[in-house]
Amino acid sequence: MANPIRRLLIDALPPLIQGQGTFICWRLHKDWCTKSLEYAVLVGVSPSGPFKKVGLTQDTEFVDSVERRHGVSQDVYYTIITQDRDTGEQYRGPVQRVGSAWNHREWRMARELVRREMLRMVKGEMGVRGHVLHRRDSGERCSCIAPDTGSVKNPACTLCYGTGYVGGYYPPIECWVDQNPERIIRRLDPEQGALSQVITEWRTLAYPPLEPNDIWVDATSDKRWRVMGDIRSIAHIRGIPIIQQVSVQILERERPEYEFPIDDS
């Protein structure tokens, strides 16, 4: 049977440079999204191993907190062992190399880009501190799901926050953004007439990696924005994004996403 994991993403560079370890996430094939699964995360120095276990999780996100010199003094590879908790069957893979074979000069360039960007945001007061909520797309299905269609019957559900999966979003990850002025987009709806959408484009580091329908939460005001489909890399080295630009849309206060708790202690 095919491996349950359709995509494995390793985001090491900005978090590693900032001393935050390596962020690892994976996405499942559709047929596996509602199964009861457990994952072992393993790391090695070659695609064939040997690998050693660095953690266990039932989520599809994991942070390896050990500092590893990716692409400088040695190569680093991660792989996942997925176990079906109902049948006991295990599936291994895929294997993913971290980043590219950066030389020392390129590594220093990336580190300097990240340092300057954070200095500009934090010390230069160009940035706004907040948190990213990655949307769940696998796990236990919520009771508000219609059994015949699989659609969400209650968009205001506070068990899944309208996502259809219990919990709704993964725990928050700190994320600074440079907020550009808003622009209003007007579109015509056949039933409701002219509607306006307030869209804005933000600049941020490429960590945490943002995906459409993720939520960004302002740490001060608690205002919440949804990440739209337009996500672009505006600074990268050998194809690895360092700084990204994203389009976001503000959410109304009545939305269930405002009920998701943020522990900012």
Q: For residue 98, what are the contacts with CB-CB under 8 A and spacing of at least 6? A: 10, 12, 22, 68, 70, 71, 75, 76, 77, 78
CATH superfamily of the 124-259 domain: Protein of unknown function DUF3599 (2.40.10.370)
As a whole number, mean pLDDT of residues 240-250 equals 88
Q: Are 131 and 216 in contact (CB under 8 A)?
A: yes
Least confident of 46-55, 145-154, 175-184, 215-224: 175-184
Q: Provide the residue ranges of all domains of the chain, joining segments of one domain with +.
A: 5-101, 124-259
Q: What is the DSSP string of 200-252?
A: EEEEEES-SPP-TT-EEEETTT--EEEEEEEEEEEEEETTEEEEEEEEEEEPP
Q: What percent of the chain has pLDDT over 90?
A: 37
Which is nearest to 80 in space by CA: 155, 5, 191, 20?
5
Q: How confident is the model at residue 74 (pLDDT cuts 50, 70, 90)?
A: low
pTM, entire model:
0.81
> Model confidence over 118-144: pLDDT tens digits?
888 888 778 999 999 999 989 989 999
Fold for the domain defined by 5-101:
Immunoglobulin-like (2.60.40)
| Mean per-residue pLDDT over the chain, rounded | 84
Give the per-residue pLDDT at 16.
54
> Model confidence over 96-105: pLDDT tens digits?
887 555 677 8
Q: What percent of the chain has pLDDT over 70?
A: 85
Give the per-residue pLDDT at 133.
95
Q: CA 122 to CA 134: how far, in whole Å?
A: 23
213 or 68: whose pLDDT is higher? 213
Q: How confident is the model at residue 76 (pLDDT cuts 50, 70, 90)?
A: confident
Give the Cβ contact number of residue 40 at 10 Å.
Answer: 18
In this predicted structure, the answer to whether residue 146 has a pLDDT above a threshold of 80 is: yes
As a whole number, mean pLDDT of residues 10-36 equals 77
Q: How confident is the model at residue 265 (pLDDT cuts 50, 70, 90)?
A: low
> Model confidence over 148-160: pLDDT tens digits?
777 888 888 989 9
Identify the three-state secondary structure at position 62. strand
Q: CA 241 to CA 235: how far, in whole Å?
A: 6
Torsion of CA 168, 262, 257, 223, to 10 degrees: -150
Q: For residue 71, what are the contacts with CB-CB under 8 A and spacing of at least 6? A: 98, 99, 100, 101, 102, 107
Tell me the residue length of the chain.
265
Q: How confident is the model at residue 237 (pLDDT cuts 50, 70, 90)?
A: confident
In this predicted structure, the answer to whether residue 113 has a pLDDT above a threshold of 90 is: no
Give the per-residue pLDDT at 100.
57
> Model confidence over 31-58: pLDDT tens digits?
899 899 999 999 998 888 899 999 999 9
Give the per-residue pLDDT at 216.
96
Least confident of 68-72, 81-85, 233-237: 68-72
Domains 5-101 and 124-259 share a fold: no
